[in-house]
């Protein structure tokens, strides 16, 4: 006959042993995890910071494009406003001439009704209203047509200037938004860095310094020749800026972002390049990696947000990212898209 006795419950002493053992096991695992966390956390922080820096650089090139557009719009607005001012002066002189004509007519026996009509109404509608009048002389008609043409031209220029001013206001807002986006990413990166200990941050900084020094001290550029004297001159100018810090939106001569360095370098060679990396990509003939020669432009990432100068032997010279200086680096450290020969 089967037994129906209740199973024997573990004693209080045995439960205590189990509890202590489980607690010890959890403590051991926690201790191991704690010992592994700092290194894992440091790598994770660095990866996130590098990603934020890359995103900030992409935003910087968009900012550079908007800033370049703002500069061009500002110049166009100034030219239009100057043209309107000069045109108004010319119109005033024409009107003075008509006034003199009216005065002469008055002295000789009365003002021509057509001139009276012009002087007392909107000149833009004058000719239509004066068409039925026979009193217009050829000289008067010519003068009035010139005034009317000048008024229409001024109205068109004022309208164009107004449109450009609206574009300028929108571009300035766009600049502010992009600047805020960049600063937000850089601020987030700094906040992540602040989660590391002072010792960890110092180690990261020293590693960055070693990378900057190694790029200029021990790099082998081989014996490749530039494709042109301007490419050689641009690369030579950029070499003179090794060690200069990366600063977003900077175009030299003491700090640069990526496209700021390439545009500045080619400017020293007498060549004007567009401001952004994306625009510079269309400034010459495209090349594959095996066709590159020192001084050629090299572009990275799908959206072409990074550009540098090919230096030879698989090395590029560029302004890498915030916290890093202008330096040589392997072309394989980033996703290469193509090169451009200016």
Contact 276, 61 (CB under 8 A): yes
Residue 67 neighbours by CB under 8 Å, 6+ apart = 175, 249, 275
Catalytic pick from 306, 321, 327, 341? 306
| Residue 257: exposure state from Cβ atoms within 10 A (0-12, 13-18, ≥19) | buried
Distance CA 321, CA 266 (A): 20
Say whether 272 is catalytic: no
3-class SS of residue 256: strand
| Residue 247 pLDDT | 93
Say whether 4 is catalytic: no
Distance CA 287, CA 291 (A): 6
| Residue 278 pLDDT | 94
Architecture label for domain 224-341: Alpha-Beta Complex (3.90)
Residue where the block lists tokens 């956390």 = 41
pTM of the model: 0.63
Catalytic pick from 318, 321, 327, 341? 318
Distance CA 215, CA 196 (A): 27
Catalytic pick from 233, 258, 293, 307? 258
For Cα atoms 236, 240, 244, give the angle at the middle one, nearest 5 degrees.
135
| Residue 99 pLDDT | 63
Say whether 318 is catalytic: yes
| Residue 20 pLDDT | 41
Mean pLDDT for each 10-residue chunk of the chain (342 residues)? 49 43 42 47 82 87 88 87 83 72 53 52 52 54 76 84 85 85 86 84 79 70 94 97 93 96 98 95 95 98 96 96 90 96 96
């Amino acid at each position: 006959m089967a037994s129906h006795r209740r199973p024997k419950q573990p004693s209080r002493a045995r439960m205590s042993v189990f509890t202590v053992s489980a607690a010890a096991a959890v403590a051991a695992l926690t201790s191991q995890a704690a010992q592994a966390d700092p290194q894992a956390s440091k790598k994770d922080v660095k990866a996130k910071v590098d990603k934020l820096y890359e995103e900030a650089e992409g935003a910087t090139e968009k900012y550079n494009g908007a800033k370049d557009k703002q500069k061009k719009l500002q110049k166009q607005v100034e030219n239009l406003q100057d043209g309107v001012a000069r045109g108004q002066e010319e119109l005033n002189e024409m009107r003075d001439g008509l006034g003199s004509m009216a005065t002469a007519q008055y002295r000789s026996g009365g003002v021509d009704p057509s001139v009276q009509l012009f002087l007392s109404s909107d000149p833009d509608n004058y000719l239509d209203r004066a068409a039925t009048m026979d009193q217009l002389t050829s000289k008067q008609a010519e003068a009035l047509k010139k005034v009317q043409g000048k008024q229409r031209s001024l109205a068109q220029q004022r309208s164009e200037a107004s449109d450009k001013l609206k574009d300028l206001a929108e571009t300035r807002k766009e600049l502010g938004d992009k600047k805020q986006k960049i600063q937000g990413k850089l601020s987030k990166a700094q906040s992540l860095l602040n989660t590391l200990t002072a010792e960890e941050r110092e180690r990261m900084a020293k590693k960055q310094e070693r990378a900057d020094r190694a790029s200029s001290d021990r790099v082998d550029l081989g014996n490749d020749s530039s494709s042109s004297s301007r490419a050689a001159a641009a690369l030579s100018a950029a070499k003179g800026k090794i060690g200069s810090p990366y600063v977003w939106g900077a175009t030299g001569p003491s700090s640069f972002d990526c496209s700021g360095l390439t545009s500045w370098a080619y400017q020293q060679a007498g060549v004007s390049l567009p401001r952004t990396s994306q625009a510079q990509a269309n400034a010459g003939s495209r090349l594959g990696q095996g066709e590159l020669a020192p001084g050629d432009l090299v572009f990275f990432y799908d959206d072409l947000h990074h550009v540098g100068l090919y230096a030879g032997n698989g090395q590029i010279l560029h302004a890498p990212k915030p916290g890093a200086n202008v330096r040589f680096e392997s072309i394989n450290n980033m996703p290469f898209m193509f090169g451009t020969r200016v």
